[in-house]
A and B are shown apart, each in its own frame.
Chain A
């Protein structure tokens, strides 16, 4: 079953604009990770944020986590055409089975040149 739900399902922006994607989940978690996937193949790990963290940065990426609302957001600043991909959040549950990642259906981001 899919715990995470990304929102929106699809997002189309112009190069240079910022892109914000959201993720909601249902159970308590240890970590939340964001991945990028090009053309339905391998997942590229972008960033991991722990449940006791509220914000994390990596290059043009900014991730926030609100455990009270069970939600996270991924912001990509100054987007580029090469950022076009599907983006997934994945959570691992706190407690037992915390190795198991549960993914949402993803957000398809299109960055137009």
Chain B
């Protein structure tokens, strides 16, 4: 596609529920990143994929968070047993290769009530 696409754009869920957030990167981009942005802050790194593998998941806050990219294109960020503190905008980005310009999607605003 023309840009990075994220769905849904908004997600409201109840505390304790499971959610999946989807990212469709720019076609041909090998690198994919997830970031999380809380209100009034800059985005913070969660996880980086090079191809199908998670090369660095050091930013995931705890084991309730997991992400996959099974075919090296679309990625899904999965959050189990959601908590109110998980409320944030989750941003996905892709780049042609590591260390080149990263292009971001519009984000998914997750609200846990």
User: Interface of A with B (CB < 8 Å)?
Assistant: 2, 4, 30-31, 33, 35, 40-45, 48, 88, 90, 92, 97-106
Contact = CB atoms under 8 A, between A and B. Distances in A.
B10 to A, nearest CB: 10
Nearest to B95: A99
B102 A33 contact: yes
Nearest to B40: A105
B42 A104 contact: yes
B42 A4 contact: yes
Contacts of B39: 40
Contact of A88 (B42, B59, B89, B101): B42
B51 interface: no
Interface in B82-113: 89, 91, 93, 95, 98-99, 101-107, 109
Contacts of B99: 30-31, 92, 98-99
Given A99-B33, A99-B48, A100-B56, A42 B91 contact: yes
Contacts of A43: 43, 91, 93, 104
Given A100-B48, A102-B45, A105-B42, A42 B102 contact: no
A44 B107 CA distance: 12
Q: Please give me the 4 A-B residue pairs with the lowest Cβ-Cβ distance, nearest first.
A: A103-B42, A42-B106, A43-B104, A99-B98
A45 B56 contact: no
B104 A45 contact: yes
